[in-house]
Amino acid sequence: MIVFDASTLILIAKADLLDLFLTSINVPVAIPREVEKECCSSKKALDAIIIQKALDESRIEVFTLRNRRLVAKLRTDFSLGRGEAEAIALGLDENAQIVGIDDKNGIDACKVLGIAFTTAVGTLIRSREKGLLEKPDAIAKLALLAKYGRYKHSIIEDARLKLEAKP
């Protein structure tokens, strides 16, 4: 199982990577209820519509967490928002293969807890490595991630080099 937090899911939707990602994997994708709310409840932006469509088609499954104590502990220990804490807790509860998270504190929590993680940029790089994207498309999607994400310039430049390195 792959679990996403809201920021990563929104970013890959904004970069037009979500459908490509979902069709290229053979493992279930899940989000906690709070992430569904953060992504889809209040806005009708294009990313929210894309994510809601994936939910409606059961390409992403929504889980309700029962271990509220773990969520509260993660929020306190790592200064996480509710969505990030629920995503990490779901990853732990379901023994997820990977957690998609772009929040710095969430990434730090994954490192401390020994949880494999990726970011929206990491998802883009992996898609290019798997041959799912041609170089120009990958570079264009990186530009969207740079526009919508809160990435350091060095992260974007490192990603650009990796995307351009593959023939």
The string of pLDDT tens digits covering residues 28-37 is 999 999 999 9
What's the token pair of residue 81?
């928002």
| Rounded Cα–Cα distance for residues 68 and 86 (Å) | 9
Q: Which CATH class is domain 2-119?
A: alpha beta
Q: Assign 140 to helix, strand or coil.
A: helix
Which residue ranges does the chain devote to CATH 3.40.50.1010?
A: 2-119
The answer to whether the CB of 9 falls within 8 A of the CB of 31 is yes
| Rounded Cα–Cα distance for residues 82 and 161 (Å) | 34
**The predicted structure's pLDDT at residue 167:** 67
Report, as an integer, the average pLDDT of 123-149.
Answer: 95
Residue 144 predicted with pLDDT over 90: yes
Report, as an integer, the average pLDDT of 152-166.
Answer: 92
The answer to whether the CB of 85 falls within 8 A of the CB of 115 is no
Residue 43 predicted with pLDDT over 70: no
Residue-wise pLDDT for 106-124, tens only, equals 999 999 999 999 999 999 9
**The predicted structure's pLDDT at residue 81:** 95
Confidence of residue 129 (pLDDT cuts 50, 70, 90): very high
Residue-wise pLDDT for 56-90, tens only, equals 999 999 999 988 999 999 999 999 999 999 999 99
**The predicted structure's pLDDT at residue 76:** 96
Residue 18 predicted with pLDDT over 80: yes
**The predicted structure's pLDDT at residue 44:** 80
Region of 16 (left: φ > 0; alpha: ψ -120 to 50; beta: rest) is: left
Confidence of residue 165 (pLDDT cuts 50, 70, 90): confident
What's the token pair of residue 128?
């290019």
